[in-house]
Amino acid sequence: MLKVLGSSFRPVIFHARSDANGLAKIHMQLPHFDAGRAALLIRAIAAGEEIELRRVVTPG
């Protein structure tokens, strides 16, 4: 799952399943924003284990 969170736009959520190699492709566009804050939140779940990664996105 990939969430795009921002202070100046509504959250956008994408879902994907991985292939036999554990890779998943998500085609997406980030909402345009000139001010405020945004972040990508990526969550993967496999065999009952879960991991989450967060990255800040800057405007422009």
Cα separation, 7 vs 20, in Å, equals 36
pLDDT at 31: 86
Domain residue ranges of the chain, discontinuous segments joined by +: 2-57
Backbone dihedral region of 25: left (phi > 0), alpha (psi from -120 to 50 degrees) or beta?
beta
Model confidence over 3-37: pLDDT tens digits?
A: 999 998 999 999 999 999 989 999 988 888 888 88
What pLDDT score does 22 carry? 87
